[in-house]
Amino acid sequence: MITLIATVLNEGDNIHNLMEGIATQTRFPDEVVIVDGGSSDNTVAIMDSYNTQLPLKIIIEAGCNISQGRNRAIAEATGDMIAVLDAGVRLENDWLEKITQPLLDDPNLNVVSGFFQADPSNTFEAAMGATVLPLVDEIQPESFLPSSRSIAFRKTAAQAIQGYPEWLDYCEDLIFDIRLQATNPPFAFAPDAIVHFRPRGSLKTYYKQYYLYARGDGKADLWRKRHAIRYITYLVALPLILLLGIFMHPLLWGLFLVGGAVYLRQPYRRLPTVIKRVPHPQTPVHWLYAILLVPIIRVVGDIAKMIGYPVGLRWRLQHNPPEWRIAR
């Protein structure tokens, strides 16, 4: 039996797309459990209208965070296989079929990683998607940590690790993945189990998103080396190259170009693929705009991470959260 779960909050503008996507799956869910975090708009009313089309159970859990909502949905699920998605996504019609088939085929398998693609509506969102999201050919299945907008697992596997970490408000699905990976290796990778979602539509909302992600990293003590490299690059390496160019020889500033080429190579490689998904034709002006946006997006994201990470570390020192790592 397959239970599909999601958490939602004030998704009235796009909840129709989610519900329609679930209702038109080639493999119909045996059960749909959605936890609403206390929406003040018409989210619940819209979901309720699908009661005749879906085996739907809506739970109101006002004030819950994402982890608490998902854990409540897992606890309420009667299915032994659980597929998870996020609000705001657009599903391929065969998503549920593709992401659960490996579990049906192999009783010893516990986790399946699906995939997610940027679904841009304009040039800015295409540049954003190319900058922050990998293409499927970049994924190494043995180390890929899936987003909880596209993952399936056995209920017993989630229960064995006590579900999602309820003390963490962001990056909770990374902790969930790492704990699952430590106890249930390997994950299967289903690259055709695809959900689509829109990248952030402004630098302001993008900054906030990555600030919160980095704050979550600090709270969970994730990716120390990755964050250290970022601080060293911006606070040590770049000023050093600038001073070398001033006091030794201006040609040394060419190191900026070399570093920039390495730093931006992957987003520019992705851009032709992602920009084709924009629904209206892209002129040379649109292309130039996207090309110029990519380095700006990278820098804004790095600044957001460098500011958010120490905020999370301070929270960690003040609150002493539980140890979440599991010895392999």
Give the model confidence (pLDDT) of 278-325 as tens digits. 999 999 999 999 999 999 999 999 999 999 999 999 999 999 999 999
Of 63, 23, 29, 26, which is closest to residue 47 (Cα–Cα)? 23
Phi, psi of 326 (to 5 degrees): -115, 125
The token duo for 115 is 């995939």
Q: What is the mean pLDDT of residues 180-195?
A: 94
Query: Which residue bears the tokens 């539980």?
Result: 322
Other Cβ atoms within 10 Å of 275 Cβ, number: 21
pLDDT in tens, 35-89: 999 999 999 999 999 999 999 999 999 999 999 999 999 999 999 999 999 988 9
Domains and CATH numbers, the chain: 2-197 (3.90.550.10), 203-319 (no CATH)
Model pLDDT for residues 136-186, shown as the tens digit of each residue = 999 999 899 999 999 999 999 999 999 999 999 999 999 999 999 999 888
pTM of the model: 0.93
What pLDDT score was predicted for residue 133?
95
Whether 328 shows a pLDDT value over 70: the answer reads no
Is residue 213's pLDDT more than 80?
A: yes
Pair 176, 161: CB distance under 8 Å: yes
Helix 123-132 / helix 284-319 crossing angle, nearest 10 deg: 50
pLDDT tens-digit series, residues 4-22: 999 999 998 889 999 999 9
Given the DSSP bridges, would you call strands 151-154 and 81-84 parallel, antiparallel or unpaired? antiparallel
Percentage of the residues of the chain whose pLDDT score is greater than 90? 96
Q: Nearest 5 degrees, angle CA 33-CA 36-CA 38?
A: 160
Q: Do residues 193 and 112 make contact, with C-beta atoms less than 8 angstroms apart?
A: yes
Banded model confidence at residue 326, pLDDT cuts 50, 70, 90:
confident
d(CA 206, CA 129): 11
Residue type, position 192, single letter: D
What's the mean pLDDT when you consider all of the chain? 96
**Confidence band, pLDDT 50/70/90 cuts, at residue 327:** low
Contact predicate 85/98, CB 8 Å: no
- Name the strands in the sheet holding 111-118, side by side, starting at the edge strand that comes first in the sequence: 56-60, 31-36, 2-8, 81-84, 151-154, 111-118, 188-197, 89-91
- Each residue's pLDDT tens digit, 76-109: 999 999 999 998 899 999 999 999 999 999 999 9
